[in-house]
Amino acid sequence: AQSVTQLGSHVSVSEGALVLLRCNYSSSVPPYLFWYVQYPNQGLQLLLKYTTGATLVKGINGFEAEFKKSETSFHLTKPSAHMSDAAEYFCAVTLWEGGKLIFGQGTELSVKP
Amino acid sequence: SQTIHQWPATLVQPVGSPLSLECTVEGTSNPNLYWYRQAAGRGLQLLFYSVGIGQISSEVPQNLSASRPQDRQFILSSKKLLLSDSSFYLCACTDPGKDEQFFGPGTRLTVL
């Protein structure tokens, strides 16, 4: 069965610093991978996804993630953090299109001025 | 693109009372529909999913139930709420054969 592990439930960075949120997955077959962002008391919004093709995927708000099969990782990065990036971020995996998503526990990102 | 409506946005209910949360979807047909629960400081737990009218799959045993009376309507219910049912409930949908899951704005339920 597939699973997702997000390392670090809380990450704090300074404004302008690099953002790195870690996600490792476990899957018996090539997975579909997603990053979602959630602002307080709101639903989830898709940041980016990897299905097939290029392993470096770019998403909204300047975020990107790289699928590394050898490391079973899909870490989320952003070169320069903004205050508006403060939110909770979820990594998710599914094995097929339209399949059930398995979510990680989430990482809360704080951005200090 | 899809739009998901959830109501109410917030709800405070006494222990032992019934529950009905509604989710409706616009802009798509025959979607896969999902109910998630998100407790404070925790990830999302899939409760139910549906691939069609009247077709409900339950992921975890609990005192909640789900129904899909129409193609784009998904209802989460309980006959008697427990304190542990306090949570943030999210509805989501996916177009058949597509990989992106869209989420509604959520319902904050507090059971006192």
Q: How far apart are CA A27 and CA A105, in angstroms?
A: 17
Give the pLDDT score at B56: 94
**What percent of chain B shows pLDDT beyond 70?**
99
Q: Is a pLDDT exceeding 80 seen at residue B42?
A: no
A43, A51, A100: residue with CB nearest B103: A43
Give the pLDDT score at A97: 62
As a dihedral over the C-alpha atoms of residue B23, residue A103, residue B62, residue A87, rounded to 10 degrees, the angle is -60
Q: What's residue A94's pLDDT?
A: 86
Over residues A22-36, the mean pLDDT reads: 89
**Contact residues on chain B for A46, CB-CB shorter than 8 A:** 100-102
More confident residue, B101 or B61: B101
How would residue A98 be classed by pLDDT, with cut points 50, 70 and 90? low
Question: How many CB atoms are located within 10 Å of the residue A61 CB?
Answer: 13
Query: What average pLDDT does this structure show over B8-14?
Result: 96
Say if the Cβ atoms of A97 and B46 lie within 8 Å.
no
- Kindly state whether B73 is in contact with chain A, defined as any CB-CB distance less than 8 angstroms: no
For tokens 């616009």, what's the residue? Answer: B26
Question: In B52-66, which positions are buried (b, 16+ CB within 10 angstroms) versus exposed (e)?
Answer: eeeebeeeeeeebeb
